Structures are given as structure tokens and as C-alpha cells.
Structure 1
């Protein structure tokens, strides 16, 4: 019997080993010879990707790098036509790592620094599955953003003396500053103002950069005359010069599945740090968009959001990250509304992308579930969920690069939907669950986090430290940004908010702002957001507004602690702790207010339902 038992064990072990995925590891040095390729690792990447395309897709392949600096140049990069959500649709684009139609690949930098030269996308994953990126940093030798350090201020002569960093790579034409990149140039016209301690300056949102004249006094040193900041700035303040252009993200995920990024840091990108669209299941663990430590002379990181997820599904997990110095949010999760242009019978519509930075990529597929919204009131039309039978582009051969589509649905459309009104179409299939946990968001412009998905969102154990605007925003807009959609299950818990909202931006009515864009709120009959719980958080406040909510049915604010400091002077127009417009079923329970809670002064309620508000057990 023992022999028979041993035979079964051996047979089971052999069968199990046969089912294990084959794995192999290869060094990038096999493709890269520093001296032969003149320090240009882009040439070796081409060889690497050619090699990966020869591998069996069922075999897990790991590419390892030596722990050193690698430089990548545009002249040897891949050339691709990509349409990237919430970016400038300028093509073609240069790409260093064009990972396409690959499966089961890990790129392990082992602590390497990847430095890019020129305007390019460092990493693009398209039609990939089970790709892992880990243990490297992304930076650019010459970033497009620059910063001015204020050296001297002469109010009497209306002059400011300043130095520029990084130095060089500029010229002065007709007393106007021109920033030079590697293969491009631009005129900066706006800026972000930072204190010397790398926090954005109090009550200084987007600051125009429009001096009457710029004079070069010495290399990297200027005299700025006739700039409106002469009355407000002091030596030591920094102004990060920029435009609102977003040509390229740092990492681009497109129509990919099961993507993992571990211990990857983006120090700079001329767009989002990471942009994912039409992708399923994404995990960020230790993904950072941050400076190179306390001694980094830079004050800025990305030109826009740190991470941005457009029309994704499955689960997005973002944890253990550091996000700082961005020109926009740490995370934004949403879909895209298509505007109804024309009705063709009972089951067919012509629709189009509307925002100038969101078009050209796949919007939906046959079988996807959709719903319809009346834009002016942001109301669902008849709570009608339909499915796509067929979808085709009207202005291109395929969806690639298209703005307009014809969609045929399986069921009859509600009779009120037509191009004569203002209606949007939302894809419900391409909506994700989100877990955003154990991250630090600090010293960034605009907002901290944005969530717009009907699936469950958990935002917990994060530190929001001096976000210049709102820390958390739940939005939804079928009028300007065209970013879907209504939240139905959001848990915001165990977070710490420190001095958020030191300046005003769009949608920044409180530290937590539930702010769908609704032009005709008065006539709205159906609430937009629902199912929101805010619990066990700590708010360290210098000003008043903690929570603003609009068009929300079901909101609980419980067991939170609100304390106050004198770090800044209160300035916000919203002088209420709680400001509610068009809400129902709001519960404020078991919270501790350092200065107490006076409902008559601290809570403002407008246009609300019959069961608008309950208060219990607050101290």
C-alpha cells in the first residue's frame, strides 16, 4: 500500500509540474551594448521587442536590467499613431517601449533610472495581457516645465529678478521667454506658485505668466518687468512655468488586461504620469509620481494627473503610492459620455465624442450595456438600460481616430431621446471597481482624487496633505468635460486631511466635494449620486467647508473628527461646515467637532427632499 501511495504522490507531482507556467529570464544587456549604440538604449529596445514577439505567449518571460541609468532617444524610438484619452490628439507619437500584442512579460528594472530625451511616451502597452512593470524610475533629461526662483522684488520699478531651473534651453525673443525642449519649443503663459517649502502658495491658483518684458541679465537669470506678481511675490517663491498642453503620458495602457506596476516612479511626464483606457484589471503597488527626495531642486512632476483611468473595467487597485507636485489630480476615474446627434428610427443613434482631448479611441463593443442621461438636468432617461447590437464609426474606416459613431441597440430607445435635445450615452460595461488605499497626496495643484464610476469605490488610509484644492471629488459632467458618471457605492474612511483647499479651482466647494455639473438643478427630479459613506476620517482644518454635496440621495458622515489650526487665514466663500444642494437621506452622526456643531450656522440645505437631513450624537 505504501508503494501505491508513493506512486500516486509522484504522479500527482509530475502532473502539477507539467501545469506550471514555464518561465525564463533574460538580461537587457543581451541586446544593449553601451559603446556600440552610443548610449542610446532605444536601439536595444527594438531588438528586445523583436525577441519577445518570437516567444511562446504562454511562457512567462522576465527582462532584467542592471541597476544603472539608461538613456532613450526619439531618433531611434518607435513611431505610432495613438489616440489617448484626456491628451492632445497630435500624431504621430514617438514611443520608447512599444509593447503590443504581448502576453506574460515582466520588465524588471532592478532599481534602474530610465531617462528619456525629446517628446515621447516612455512605455505604451496596447492589446497586452499579464504585463508587469517593476523597479525603475522614469524621468526626462530636459523637462518641458521650468521653474523660476524669485531672487529680488522691486515694487517701485515694477521689476522682478529671477533665475530659471533647469538652466539653459531657452531663448528670449522680443523680450518674451521661449522654452526649448529637445525637438520642440513653447511660450509659457501660466504658472503654479510654490512656497520655498514646496507647498503651493496660499490663495494663488493658476497664475498668469505675462510679463511685459523679459531681459536676460546673465545665463539663467532674468529681469521681468510689468508682471502682475510684483505686489504679491517675495524672494524664495517659485513659479513653475507651463501651458495646458498634454502631448504624452509617461505610461500608456490601451485595451490591455491584468497590468501590474510595482515600485515604479515617474519623476516627470508632459501629460499624465499614467493613462489607462479601455483596459481591465490594473494594479498599482508602490507606483509614485514624485520628486527625487527632499533635496530635489525641482518643485514639479507631471503636467497633468498622476494617474488617470478612462473607460476601464474590472478592478483598479492603487496603493502605497506617493503623489506630489502634479499640475492636477492624483487619480481620476471616469468614462466618457457620447452626445446624441441624431435619431434614426427606434433603435439607432448617431453620436459623437465632444471634448477636444477625448476622442479617437474605442468607446464600446457589441453586448455592452448603456444608459442615457438628459444633460441639462443630469437625469437618467426612464432608468432605461439598453445593449449595443452594433457600433461603427462614421468619420473613419474604424473606431481608430473617430469622433462620430452610429450605434444600433437591441431594444427600442426611449421616445424622448433625439438630437434635438441634449442627451448623452454612458457605457456601463466599461466601469471599474476602485480601491485607493495607503497613499500620500501632497502639494499638488487642483484636486486630490476624482471618482466617477457606478461600481464600488473604497478610498481609505490615505494622507491628503495640502492639496491646493478639494481633496476628494465625486463629479459627473455631460456638458463640458463629458466625463461619466454617477457614483452609487463609495466608502471614504480612515483618511487624514491636512489643510486641504488653500486655493480655489473648479469643483472645489469643500474638502470633500460631491459636485456633478448640473446646469438645471432646480428642475431635476432624480438624484445623481447615491450610497456615499464618509467615516472615521480626521480633518485638520484652517477654514470652514468640510463637505459639499449636490444631487445626492444617501450620504452618511459619521464618526469623523474635525480639528482646527491657525496655519492660514480662512478665505473660502463657503462659510459652512456642510453645504447641501438637492440632497436626501443625509445622516451626520457621531462626529467630534473641536469647536462644536451649531446646525443653524454650520449646515446649509437647499432644494432638498422630504427626508433631507438627520443629526444624531455629534459633539
Structure 2
């Protein structure tokens, strides 16, 4: 009898479980119809926000092409680090205040129209995006395919791509987007093989006249590039605007992007700020394949992480054709604007593209730096006990903050000098591995964090500037901070540095911006190991380091080729300014090397560099 009651009880539990059905979340628009999918995204996200349970769910979107238009999309006021702070912004998927959700595109193409942020994830927990691509029907960037060049007449003929969507006002070219216009001010020069053109960086687009020879064929006169150009080259026309990233992540925890491709964005491919633990696996900012007619992808960086913490993992990605770096990891210095008392300061966001978002919280650990010498002020860290906006009701949209600290402030910190505040709590570890970075403007990978950085098994293939940069600056970009442990290993560098940009003194450039280096007493960067890498180069500079204590260059292989003529002003494989504890050992140089001639040191002790 007891056995029968027990079996009945178990069967009731099983049946009850069978009758509890998870709600289905469907994407209410058919693919491949060009029907506006923005409304379906709004409805889907509303359903996700209304659900009561917290079980992890996966929303599967049937494979196909979906078009998103701004009129029926989300309208949001967002303040996005390192972007233009123009509002409001139109958003395709505004994934706000959600947890335990996966959006699986199953190989879909998401195509956006006008100026939109395709995906925004705000205040989310355990959000995953996977298996889709992002593109725009009509990019703001355009390219000119050079057809004919006549230096004698100081003119050329070029075909514009994508076709149409332009006008000529008083012999000036205006690019027409969907709901906006762009007057190009600059351009990027590409060879026919999609590599950026040797030693031509940030070319102005300022011809005397542009006229239409026939539809889509432009006659360009009086442009400084005419005498340098050959048929088949492409010039990607651009402005300096950064209105919208492809993916925006803010104040999130445990975010994953898996097998997501961004083919174009008018800002960065992905921008994350004030978020913890982000994993990119097969996330790419890339062309649509070898036969893609485009030579360009994003207007700025492929990926950018501002004031994040936890661990950032970026692996198995392809980054190409960007107008800036593949990855940039940093925090943001606030400039001290007023000392209110011995424990309270006012401080301000300084860069015009970095303000309006949360900078810190009660309990965060901070340190202070003197901006001209870029060295820490005071022997101890401090802790925030309160922080509030001065110019806004909350930190949302604010530029200036009043911050109170637990310990007495160093006496010298006030508005009469130049001092920055660095938030040490919001600094991440980074693993950047097994990626391909190629054919992009500026630099490859930038790391500015005191936590551990591992950069390994990557291919840096024809980055136009420095392949890897360790920076830090409290005077211009206001991007923190000092690196303490960086491991650069098992990477392959192929003909990096075919043009010079800011901070590009060698293939690997350790270049904090320090206006007053001669009076600096402390070192900025430390603990850097460069090992087991392969350098294939046409020129001389390999490693430049400034204000660095502890640098190892070992077990690397260096070979030389003749793809380009050497041109760089830095003629030394190793150039060090104010360094200590540098070790160079057990490296193989194809043509041999001479330590006395190939190492240049300035502002350093005689025994600062050891060669074995």
C-alpha cells in the first residue's frame, strides 16, 4: 500500500513537471522579405522583460535576412565611451535589464538602415549573442575605385562604391546616407589586394573640384594624391564621426558573443564600458569574404573596452579593414578641477568623446597621478566613500563629479596643478588569443590595464602602424593606465608598421605619453615579457619602450624581406628611453645583429639593458 502511494506521488510530480511549459519567444517577422523587423525586436524584448522566472532561455531566430529601420526602432539616450555623444539614438535590439538570455540568430544576416545601434546590452546578466552578422544597407564610408590617372591634367577618374547616393554641391562631393549626409574630409588608401598603401596614412580628401563624368564616375581634379595614385587603388572616403557602435555593452555581467560578425559600423564594432567578464569567441569585424567589393569595415576600432573589470577574453576572431585598432583596453582618468577639503575633490571627464557614463562607485580603489610626469602621487591607494554628479542630477550624462575619499588626500593635489584620478577597481585581466588582425589603419592591439594581459598565438598581418601598443595618457586621450604584467608570446608579425601614426615607434611600442620625462622619478610600465614570437619585417624597429621597469625580449625569431623599402625614422631594432631591468637573450636574427649598434638607450643607467 505504501509502495503504491509512493508511486502515485512520483507520477504526480512527473505529470506536474510535464504540464509546466516554458513560454515560447518568437521573432514575429518573416525573413528575406525586407519587411521592417524593428517592431518585432521591440515586441520580443518587451516579452523578455515581462517574464517572471530567471531560468536561462534561448530565443532562436529562423535563419535569413532581416532588415531593421529606425522609425519603428527603440529610441534611447545613451552615453557611449569614445563615441560622439549625440542623442537620441535609434537602437535595433535594446536588451535592457535582462538576465539569462541567449539570442541565437542561427546564421542570420541583420541589415540595418540609417544611423542605428544594432545591439545594445545594458544592465544585463548572463546575456549571450550568437550566430549572426551585422551590416548596413548603405554605409557612411564609401570607396573610390581609381580607373584612370592623368598627372599632366592633374585629374583622375574614379568609380564610387556603393553606387549612387551622392550629390555634388559646387564641385564638392556629398555622400547621402539613409536620413543623413556626410561630407568626407579624409580617406584611407588601399592597394588592390586590400592592404593599406605603403606610407600613405590619413590622406586628406580636399580636391579642388569633383564633377560627374557619368553616373557613378567622378572626375577629381587638384587632389594631392593624383601624382601618387595608380589605377586599381581604392580610397575609402570618411569623416571623423563616430555616432554608433555595432554592439554596445554597459553595466553588464557575464556577456558572451559567439560567432558574431560585424561587417560595418559607423563607430566601433563593439564598445563595452563599466562591465564585468566579457567573452568574445569567433567575434569578428570583417569583410564578407575574399570577393567582397568593400575594402573597409568600421569607422573606428573593431573592439574597445573602457573601464571594465573581471576578465576580457577575445579569441578566434578576424579583424580587418578597420579605420582603427583591433582591440583597445583602458580606463579613463578624471582631471582634478577643485580641492574642496582634505578628503574631497571635484574631478571631470576631459575628452569630448568620453563622458556621461558612470565612472566609479562607493568602495572603489583609486590612485592619483601627476599628469606631466605620469607618476603616482602619494604612497598609498585610496577608497571612494561617496561620489555624486555635479552638473547633472545623476551620473547619467554628467561630466563632473564630487568625490569623497576615505583617507586624507596628498597635500599637493589641487586644481593649481595637473592631476588625474584613476579607478583601479574597474580594470580587467585580458586574454587576447588566436586572432587574425590584418589590413587595418593605425595599430593592432592596445592594452592599458594593471591586471594581467596575455596576448598569444595571434597573427598581425600588415597592420598599417604598430602591431601592439602599451600606452597611458592623462593629457590628451585620458586613457589609463600602467601595465604591470603583460605576456606577448607565440605571435607572428608580418610587415607591421608600413606607415606612422601616434605612438608608432616600433612593431611593439611601449609608449606612455609623458610630457615631462626628464623629471619623472617613477617608472610607468613594468613586467613585460615578449617571447617566442616571429617577426617578419622589411624595416628595422622591433621594440620601443619608454618609462619601463622590467622588459624581457627572448627566444624570438626575426627575419627580413623586401616587400617594402625601409622608411621609418627609427633605425634601431631596440630603442629605449628611461628604462631599467631590460633583458635581451637567446633571439635569432636572420642577418645577425650588433648590440652596440642595434640598441639605442636614452635617459637610462648604463646597466639598464642586459644582453645574453
Identify whether the pair has TM-score above 0.5, normalized to the shorter chain: yes
Q: In the alignment, does 2:597 pair up with 1:601?
A: yes
Aligned to 1:441: 437
- CA separation of 1:57 and 1:207: change in aligned 2, threshold 3 A: farther
Q: In the alignment, does 2:121 pair up with 1:101?
A: no
Q: In the alignment, does 2:124 pair up with 1:128?
A: yes
- Following the alignment from structure 2 to structure 1, what is the Cα–Cα distance between the partners of residues 575 and 588? 18
Q: CA RMSD in A?
A: 1.8
Deviation at 1:33, TM superposition (A): 4.9
- Following the alignment from structure 1 to structure 2, what is the Cα–Cα distance between the partners of residues 447 and 279? 24
Is the contact made by 2:296 and 2:322 (CA closer than 8 Å) also made in structure 1? yes
- CA separation of 1:167 and 1:585: change in aligned 2, threshold 3 A: same
Is the contact made by 1:447 and 1:470 (CA closer than 8 Å) also made in structure 2? yes
- CA separation of 1:262 and 1:473: change in aligned 2, threshold 3 A: same
Deviation at 1:199, TM superposition (A): 0.3
Aligned to 2:26: 28
Q: In the alignment, does 2:583 pair up with 1:583?
A: no
Is the contact made by 2:67 and 2:112 (CA closer than 8 Å) also made in structure 1? yes
- Following the alignment from structure 2 to structure 1, what is the Cα–Cα distance between the partners of residues 22 and 284? 28
- CA separation of 1:578 and 1:34: change in aligned 2, threshold 3 A: closer
- CA separation of 1:532 and 1:156: change in aligned 2, threshold 3 A: same
Deviation at 1:204, TM superposition (A): 0.5
- Following the alignment from structure 1 to structure 2, what is the Cα–Cα distance between the partners of residues 70 and 585? 56
Q: List alignment gaps of at least 5 residues for structure 2.
A: none
- Following the alignment from structure 2 to structure 1, what is the Cα–Cα distance between the partners of residues 237 and 562? 30
Deviation at 1:24, TM superposition (A): 5.0
Helix, strand or coil for the counterpart of 1:505? coil
Helix, strand or coil for the counterpart of 2:153? coil
The superposition leaves residues 269-312 of structure 1 with CA deviations (integer Å, 9 ceiling, x where unpaired) of: 00000000000000000000000000000000000000000000
The TM-score normalised by the length of structure 1 is 0.95
The superposition leaves residues 337-357 of structure 1 with CA deviations (integer Å, 9 ceiling, x where unpaired) of: 000011111100010000000
Aligned to 2:108: 112
Aligned to 2:314: 318
- CA separation of 1:23 and 1:448: change in aligned 2, threshold 3 A: farther
Deviation at 1:87, TM superposition (A): 0.1
- Following the alignment from structure 1 to structure 2, what is the Cα–Cα distance between the partners of residues 275 and 67? 26
The TM-score normalised by the length of structure 2 is 0.96
Aligned to 1:490: 486
- Following the alignment from structure 1 to structure 2, what is the Cα–Cα distance between the partners of residues 23 and 516? 57
Deviation at 1:32, TM superposition (A): 2.2
Aligned to 2:476: 480
Helix, strand or coil for the counterpart of 1:40? coil
- CA separation of 1:34 and 1:491: change in aligned 2, threshold 3 A: closer
Helix, strand or coil for the counterpart of 1:228? coil
Figure out how many residues of one structure are paired with residues of the other and give that number.
601
Helix, strand or coil for the counterpart of 1:28? coil
Deviation at 1:55, TM superposition (A): 1.4
Q: Structure 1 segments of 4 or more deviating over 6 A?
A: none
- CA separation of 1:615 and 1:25: change in aligned 2, threshold 3 A: farther
- Following the alignment from structure 1 to structure 2, what is the Cα–Cα distance between the partners of residues 575 and 239? 30
Aligned to 2:388: 392
The superposition leaves residues 210-268 of structure 1 with CA deviations (integer Å, 9 ceiling, x where unpaired) of: 01000011111110000011110000000000011100000000000100000000000
- Following the alignment from structure 1 to structure 2, what is the Cα–Cα distance between the partners of residues 383 and 183? 54
Identify which range, 385-394 or 46-55, moves more after superposition: 46-55
- Following the alignment from structure 1 to structure 2, what is the Cα–Cα distance between the partners of residues 586 and 34? 58
- Following the alignment from structure 1 to structure 2, what is the Cα–Cα distance between the partners of residues 335 and 73? 34
- CA separation of 1:62 and 1:225: change in aligned 2, threshold 3 A: same
Aligned to 1:469: 465
Deviation at 1:65, TM superposition (A): 1.1
Deviation at 1:38, TM superposition (A): 6.7
The superposition leaves residues 300-347 of structure 1 with CA deviations (integer Å, 9 ceiling, x where unpaired) of: 000000000000000000000000000000000000000001111110
The superposition leaves residues 14-50 of structure 1 with CA deviations (integer Å, 9 ceiling, x where unpaired) of: 99xx9xxx99584634x22569x97011011111011
- CA separation of 1:164 and 1:199: change in aligned 2, threshold 3 A: same
Q: In the alignment, does 2:68 pair up with 1:72?
A: yes
The correspondence for 1:382, drawn from 378, 381, 387, is 378
